[in-house]
Structure 1
Amino acid sequence: MKMINLIVNGKDVVAATVEPRTQLADFLRDTLNLTGTHLGCEHGVCGACTLLIDGVPARSCITLAVACDGASITTIEGMDDDEVMRALRAAFSREHALQCGYCTPGMLASARDVVLRMPDASEQDIRFAMSGNLCRCTGYVGIIKAVQSVIAERREAGVVSPENPRTTLGPVGSGHAQPMASGNTAFAGTTKLVAAPVQRAAAATAPAPVVPAKKAGAPDSGKPLTTLNQSFSIDFPREQVWNFFGRLGDVTTCLPGASLLAPPTETHVEPKLRIKVGPIVAEFEGAADVVRDAANHSGTIYGSARDTKSSSATRGEIRYDLIEEKGGTATRVEVQVGFALTGSLAQFSRSSIVRDIAKRMTDAFAENLRARLSQGGSEVADGSAFHAPAAELNAGALVFSVLRDRIVAFFRSLFGR
């Protein structure tokens, strides 16, 4: 799995996890639910999947998502306020330039590029420039007329200068790539559009990653994050708890059902979370990066994961603050969780039930944390960390427990007991 940062339709998609082989079109459709990008031939021939990468038209069905790390992606959903696109949509409707509409999103993206780059284009120029977009319905006459009419309207309005969005050589979106550092086992990228890159290294001594700051609960990939607040107290000094939280492997495996896919570093961890909901067993695999603030004893975790057996995926961020209690002999852990769940398991993300389940998960995490700290922080004889996973998370049992408690509370209130 690789972690990437994108700007999609003007919104930050931070720390998204994808497989190296995932095409950009599949990532947009399956993970971000941007289904306006259509898949036709899936060989880069028909043009139905055309969208804009850094303002330049590109075939998303043959573009790897990891190759777009740091790029700005604009799909048909993100062009509602584009002046040229509004004119093209009106012209396509007026000139009957679409029938079934399947090719239309890619056709419009390519037509927009023609209008901007070729203000003096002839009919032959337009036909040649649009030859990479295939349509099996219209015969192309209405499409050509629509593009011609928009060019004519802009010429009458005094817009005659060509605009070329391409500013760098090489494949579209490649302007953000940098060579991988020695010993770095992950795809490394930088970006001029996202505040700072997320870098992963195999050695624990590698520089800490800098993750773009983003408030929990802010919109991400078009879907707002559900925000939950939890807290618990443990009878251990804050510095001891802080040091334990610095060992990502131990912290991760305190969560019920969590295990590790690879050895963690000081700032990066790749967890696997097994969840059972009745007969459904989901196994989420993902990655997360951590930024810690030692001065304030706080940290923020940015991560995402995907179920290996379905289209379900989740992304979010967790902020924790450690506060001294009882004169420094105890610590209160305050946690703010922002998450978004998509796919078939999203039906279990109703906030009222999730809040109760989160409370039970927090209690289980706190109990495991107390046990690890009581054992000296889970360090074995040679000083290495011990990452034994906690018990499997049975979400079905949690849901049943929540519903049972609610039914009991309802009848108690009904009969005044």
Structure 2
Amino acid sequence: MNKIQLTVNGSAIEPTVEPRTHLADVLRDQLDLTGTHLGCEHGVCGACTLLLDGAPARSCITLAVACAGAAVTTIEGLDEDEIAAELRVAFTREHALQCGYCTPGMIMSARDLVLRLDHADEHAIRVGLSGNLCRCTGYAGIVRAVSAVIAARRQRGIAAVIGAGRTSLGPVGSQPGAIAAAASPARPAATGIKRSGDLALGSLDPSEVMPAKSFDASFTVNAAPEQVFALFGQPKTLAACFPGATITDLPAPDRIEGAISVAIGPLSAVFRGSARIDRNAADLSGRLIGTGRDRRSRTSTSGQISWRMLPIDEGRATRVALAIGYSLSGPLAQIARDGLVRDLASRITTTFAQNCDRHLNGTAGPTETPEPQRLNALALLLDVARKRLTGLAQRLRGP
């Protein structure tokens, strides 16, 4: 038995392994990192692909003892990675996954291509992914997804990284000083991984947040459009009106950092993140662009909310028209069906509108802001279910 030193997803560990033990078995059996899948176990199918010192490698044929001193990044280590987040959205949008067994390894190889390729070349992408086999999709959606991410990043001025950051030749995992290079627990430097949360808020723009789903909504407030628009320029007051939202910092007039707390029965989630607000006083419109993550469930979200104030009742009231786009990835995304999200958004919007109305019409007092409210998703779900059952019963009864 041998004790070796590894840095796995930014954490230093010292597993004890037999000389014949493969790296994939150490990750799955000792560390419970089962996102690294085992398929052929001959280094052919690519399902076990991960990053060793920033380079893709087959963990099913890589001996663990040969990786002593290396920085290992598994699919779990890409939860907050900027490129992986864009790939997950693109894979969903382009229908690039079905059973999902090959997807972790495919994302690892695709991430390397996004880093290296100067432009979205279909032939180069197909060659780069030729070591990752998929029995479901036919590859067309995968190629489109990778191509879209490369093209979008190059259009935003993010240049390709020559050699994907590799500075020396030789087997991955064999470079000296890998532990020191990956000393940061948040982001192994050798892999070039950039957490989405590390993005400068001032750089957030619509092209960096690519919603997978979108829908429209609206609500009415008994106040003039100019008053409602002014309220939307007061982040702390606005957050207090929104169920479950809190502001933790205002680093700039157009930047906010905060959290949204959600309770679903005994389960709870706190999405912490950051956003940028753009406002246009000329047409009383604006937009919020942000990202957030619940560390406990490892669920991430990103999205945009655009609004416009439209006068009604001869300008004495306002209809706020909303365009909402969002992406959700992680365990909690499993319950986020489109219809359910829209129903919940409708209920949340109603509560938000009522709170805004009370504040603008003096119910909260001239200087007092509403108390922050916790978003109880279970109550909202039950109400949505009740309304749906009522509607179903009415349809079954007929006219």
Q: TM-score, normalised by structure 1?
A: 0.54
Tell me the distance in 2 between the aligned counterparts of 1:414 and 1:349: 27
For residues 350-382 of structure 1, give each alpha carbon's deviation from its aligned partner in whole angstroms, at most 9, with x where no partner exists.
1111111111111000001011112288763xx
What is the letter of the counterpart of residue 231 of structure 2? F
Tell me the distance in 1 between the aligned counterparts of 2:270 and 2:132: 45
Q: In structure 2, what is the equivalent of residue 244 of structure 1?
A: 231
Given that 2:271 and 2:292 are in contact with CA atoms closer than 8 Å, whether structure 1 keeps it comes out as yes
Given that 1:231 and 1:333 are in contact with CA atoms closer than 8 Å, whether structure 2 keeps it comes out as yes
Question: How many angstroms does 1:339 deviate by?
Answer: 0.6
Tell me the distance in 2 between the aligned counterparts of 1:402 and 1:396: 10
Q: 2:377 aligns with which of 376, 395, 410?
A: 395
Q: In structure 1, what is the equivalent of residue 91 of structure 2?
A: none
Q: In structure 2, what is the equivalent of residue 131 of structure 1?
A: 170
Question: How many angstroms does 1:240 deviate by?
Answer: 1.0
Q: In structure 2, what is the equivalent of residue 101 of structure 1?
A: none
Question: How many angstroms does 1:291 deviate by?
Answer: 0.8
For residues 132-151 of structure 1, give each alpha carbon's deviation from its aligned partner in whole angstroms, at most 9, with x where no partner exists.
4259xxxxxxxxxxxxxxxx
**Inter-CA distance 406–65: structure 2 relative to 1 (3 Å threshold):** closer
Q: 2:266 aligns with which of 274, 279, 289?
A: 279
Q: In structure 2, what is the equivalent of residue 334 of structure 1?
A: 321
Q: 2:109 aligns with which of 70, 76, 90?
A: 76
What is the letter of the counterpart of residue 342 of structure 1? S
What stretches of structure 2 of length at least 5 have no aligned partner?
1-8, 11-32, 37-45, 59-70, 88-106, 114-119, 134-160, 175-188
SS at match of 2:314: helix
Counting only pairs closer than 5 Å after superposition, residues 357-372 of structure 1 correspond to structure 2 as 357-372=344-359
Given that 2:47 and 2:132 are in contact with CA atoms closer than 8 Å, whether structure 1 keeps it comes out as no
Q: 2:310 aligns with which of 304, 307, 323?
A: 323
What stretches of structure 1 of length at least 5 have no aligned partner?
1-21, 24-29, 50-58, 94-111, 118-127, 136-169, 177-185, 190-197, 200-209
Q: 1:411 aligns with which of 387, 393, 397?
A: 393
Tell me the distance in 2 between the aligned counterparts of 1:350 and 1:367: 26
Given that 1:288 and 1:304 are in contact with CA atoms closer than 8 Å, whether structure 2 keeps it comes out as yes
Tell me the distance in 1 between the aligned counterparts of 2:55 and 2:285: 51
Tell me the distance in 1 between the aligned counterparts of 2:173 and 2:121: 26
Query: Which one has the largest radius of gyration?
Result: 1
For residues 154-200 of structure 1, give each alpha carbon's deviation from its aligned partner in whole angstroms, at most 9, with x where no partner exists.
xxxxxxxxxxxxxxxx99979x9xxxxxxxxx9786xxxxxxxx42x
Q: 1:267 aligns with which of 248, 254, 272?
A: 254
SS at match of 1:327: coil
Question: How many angstroms does 1:412 deviate by?
Answer: 1.8
**Inter-CA distance 66–351: structure 2 relative to 1 (3 Å threshold):** closer
Q: In structure 2, what is the equivalent of residue 193 of structure 1?
A: none
Given that 2:51 and 2:191 are in contact with CA atoms closer than 8 Å, whether structure 1 keeps it comes out as no
What is the letter of the counterpart of residue 371 of structure 2? A
Counting only pairs closer than 5 Å after superposition, residues 1-80 of structure 1 correspond to structure 2 as 38-39=49-50, 44=53, 48=57, 61=73, 76-77=109-110, 79=113
Q: In structure 2, what is the equivalent of residue 231 of structure 1?
A: 218
**Inter-CA distance 264–378: structure 2 relative to 1 (3 Å threshold):** farther
Q: In structure 2, what is the equivalent of residue 102 of structure 1?
A: none
1:348 aligns with 2:330: no
Q: In structure 1, what is the equivalent of residue 301 of structure 2?
A: 314
Question: How many angstroms does 1:405 deviate by?
Answer: 1.3
Q: In structure 2, what is the equivalent of residue 158 of structure 1?
A: none
Tell me the distance in 2 between the aligned counterparts of 1:211 and 1:40: 28
For residues 371-410 of structure 1, give each alpha carbon's deviation from its aligned partner in whole angstroms, at most 9, with x where no partner exists.
1112288763xxxx746312x2111121111112111211
Q: TM-score, normalised by structure 2?
A: 0.56
Given that 1:274 and 1:393 are in contact with CA atoms closer than 8 Å, whether structure 2 keeps it comes out as yes
Counting only pairs closer than 5 Å after superposition, residues 52-201 of structure 1 correspond to structure 2 as 61=73, 76-77=109-110, 79=113, 81=121, 83=123, 86-87=126-127, 130-133=169-172, 198-199=201-202
Question: How many angstroms does 1:314 deviate by?
Answer: 0.8
**Inter-CA distance 129–91: structure 2 relative to 1 (3 Å threshold):** farther
Supply the RMSD in Å over aligned alpha carbons: 4.6
SS at match of 1:292: strand
Q: In structure 2, what is the equivalent of residue 212 of structure 1?
A: 205
Question: How many angstroms does 1:295 deviate by?
Answer: 0.7
How many pairs are equivalent?
A: 273
Q: In structure 2, what is the equivalent of residue 303 of structure 1?
A: 290
Identity among equivalent pairs (%): 27
**Inter-CA distance 361–130: structure 2 relative to 1 (3 Å threshold):** same
User: After the TM superposition, which parts of structure 1 deviate over 6 Å for at least 4 consecutive aligned residues?
Assistant: 62-69, 88-93, 170-174
SS at match of 1:286: strand
Question: How many angstroms does 1:280 deviate by?
Answer: 0.9
Tell me the distance in 2 between the aligned counterparts of 1:352 and 1:67: 29
What is the letter of the counterpart of residue 276 of structure 2? D
SS at match of 1:358: helix
Given that 1:228 and 1:336 are in contact with CA atoms closer than 8 Å, whether structure 2 keeps it comes out as yes
Given that 2:290 and 2:304 are in contact with CA atoms closer than 8 Å, whether structure 1 keeps it comes out as yes
Tell me the distance in 1 between the aligned counterparts of 2:249 and 2:352: 21
